[in-house]
Structures are given as C-alpha cells and as structure tokens.
Amino acid sequence: MELVKISDSEYQKIAQEFGTPVYVYHAESIEHQYQRLLNAFPSVNVKLHYALKALNNINVLRILKAQGAGLDAVSIQEVQLGLRAGFAPSEIMYTPNCVDFAEIKEAVALGVHINIDNISILEHFGHEFGATVPCCIRLNPHIMAGGHSHISVGHIDSKFGISIYQLRHVLRVVESLKIKVNGLHMHTGSDILDAEVFLRGAELLFDAARSFKDLEFMDFGSGFKVGYKPNDIVTDIEEIGEKISAAFVTFCEEYGRKLELWFEPGKFIVSESGSLLVKANVIKQTTSTVFVGVDSGQNHLIRPMFYDAYHHIENISHADGAMRLYSVVGYICETDTLGYDRKLQEVREGDVLRIHNAGAYGFSMSNNYNARLRPAEVLVRNGEAHLIRRREVLDDLIRSEIELEGLI
C-alpha cells in the first residue's frame, strides 16, 4: 500500500492548533520504514534494535514495539526509557561508551544485553561476573564511513570499539576470565551508501567470530543514508540486504549454526517521518543577504550547525508565491543558520516554514540555550494529530534549580 503523506494544509492546521515551533511525526511513515528495512533481509533471522537516541518519545517507542522492534540504548537512562515504554530487558541492547563501571553493573541488574567496547572494562566485567553474565564485544573495524568526522565512528582515531588489531588481547582476556561472549558488534558510522562498506566490515567480523564458539548473534550497527535534499542519493537498502544476507548465510553454514543478524537503525526509521514547523518572525535585508528570522534555532535543531547538515525547507503558507533567495536563521544569540541561500516561495512575516527530515536527532538533541524553551511534539496517526509532548514553560526550566536564601 502506498504511503499517504501529510499535506501542507494539514501541517498548517497543526501549526495553528498547537503553535510553533512544533515537531510533527507521521506514525505510518515510521512503520513503513521499519517494515521496509525488515523486508530487505528475508532469508536470515534478522532483529532490528531501534536506536532510541534518535527520537525517544514514549509514543514513538511504543509504535516500534508494536512492530516487533528491540532497542539500542547508549545510556542507563535510555535503558530506563525503554523499560518504561514496555520493552522487556531481553529486547534491549545497552552499548555505552566511556561510562563508569557502576552504570554497567546497573544495566546488568536490569537484565539487558551488555555490549563492551573497551578492554579494561572487559577485564573488569570478567572479574565481576565471569561466565555468569554473557556480553557482546564491540569491535572497531577501522573503516571510514560517512561524509563527516562526527558521523564516522569506525575509523582508527575513533573512541568507539576495540580495535580489530587487538583481537588477540581480547581473546586472552576472555579465555583467562571465562567470559561468555554471545555476540559481536560493529558500527562504522552514518550515511553509508555503498554495500561494499558493510561487506568489508562483515568479513572482518566473520574472521573474528571464528574465535568465539558461543555466539548467538552478530550486530552490524546501521548508518543507512536517507534523503535530505530533493532527489538526494540514498542507501539502496534492498541491495545491501541481498548482499549482506547472502554473506551471512554462507558464514553461518561455516560456523555450524544459524545466528541472528542484528541492526540498530535510528535515522533510517524516523528521520523522514518528522518535520519541524517554524514561523517567520522577521524578513531582514542587508547589503548582501535577505534573512528569514524564525521562532526557532540551534536550540531546537542543532544538526545544521553541528554536522553542517542540510535540511530541505519550504514555505507551506505561500505555495504559489514567486521563488526568492533567502537564508533562514534562528533567534538564538549565535550564528544559527538553518539554511543558506535557499530558494523559497516568497516569505512574509507570519508564514509557516516546514523543515524536512527532522525526526532523527532533532528534539532529542534540543536544549535550553539562551533560556529558550523546547517545543511541543505532535504525532499524526490515521490523519489525526495528537499532542505527545507539551511545549515547555518557564517552570520546566527552573524546576531543578535551588535558590539559596540569605547567601547575598
């Protein structure tokens, strides 16, 4: 069935009812992307663990739970959010980085899968739990993926994972401390287009797996590229699915039993489902630029500043307006340009602009810089808009502050 998208008129109604800025998510789009990825690997036992760092609203998590997803959590707080949403501990993979060992012990007590990416932590884990608690090991394949250093995490200078060249050391630790390793993990980064990147990493992981006799699964991470620009190049997930599945089936035959193939998609599942609706506050012309100043900024969508990410922007209030060139900027006291030199239908003060592909790492990376408040979130299901997070008020900003009496 063809996916029916939210129309511009519907977005305008949402902006009018709930105000701006507001994040809007499309439930059916989330489900569509999940099923598309699942169906790309029909010949293997595949398990998708949604990376909830991308978007962690409980309503979104419950949509994915209903689809059969597990979760990929990178902090104990994310683990707790997953449990709150109804996921069983066995459905959650906990993959921390540079955390205190006390947090890992807390995750063990909660019963989730443990993924370790540091030899010293692996040793500590072995001394603490021995063979009583299984763990997964995250390996760094030293493969450069993605177009930006912030989203490529499998290269030699990355803080993530244990170097594939330290495998002999890992095996000595595992053997001497009787650690039960039930999975191997690899994540090279985001915006991967080429199936060969996955296949190169897979071969390294297969080679490593031959030294571990108790594996139950192999986790290939994620990093599939979605389209941010009109007619953008995206990952051919069906091609990757076909090639990875064939390689995995061959490996399992050699290994002697069928393993589960895990992925941890985040952006691929929710990015295109989300939009950020903002209002044009001012039109400001300088000697060289015409700015559209909106009622949002890097405090709500930091990706353009942090990653130099492109998000398509359109004026949904003036669809038949003449095309003009603008730079869309925010109201934060920093350079928070959301889009340089964008061709938009003529923008008037009060018009609503839609920023596309804001479902992943939009709200979850938002903040209160300049004492600005975070926006509302709305979920559209079966054509009906539902408020799933209210807009912040000043009391939210100061709730944890302790005011000292008589200090001054």
Fold of 271-398: Lyase, Ornithine Decarboxylase; Chain A, domain 1 (2.40.37)
Is residue 136 part of the annotated active site? The answer reads: no
CA dist., res. 212 & res. 207, Å (int) = 10
Question: What class does CATH assign to 56-265?
Answer: alpha beta
Q: What is the pLDDT of residues 130-146, one digit of tens each?
A: 999 999 999 998 885 54
**DSSP string over 200-259:** HHHHHHHHHHTT-S---EEE----B----STT-----HHHHHHHHHHHHHHHHHHHTS--
Q: What is the pLDDT of residues 283-302, one digit of tens each?
A: 999 999 999 999 999 999 99
Nearest Cα to Cα of residue 286 among 329, 333, 346: 329
Q: Where are the domains of the chain?
A: 56-265, 271-398
**β strands within 118-192, DSSP E:** 135-140, 162-163, 181-185
Q: What is the pLDDT of residues 299-315, one digit of tens each?
A: 999 999 999 999 999 99
Does this chain's domain 56-265 share its CATH topology with 271-398? Answer: no
Supply 212's token pair: 């571990």
47: part of which helix (H) or strand (E)? strand 46-51
pTM of the model: 0.93
CA dist., res. 54 & res. 59, Å (int) = 14
Under 8 Å between Cβ of 345 and 322? yes
CA dist., res. 110 & res. 87, Å (int) = 12
User: CA 68 → CA 31, 64, 223, 273, distances in Å?
Assistant: 10, 7, 20, 19
Which pLDDT score, from 0 to 100, does residue 265 have? 95
Mean pLDDT of the chain: 93
The catalytically annotated residue of 135, 136, 252, 333 is 333
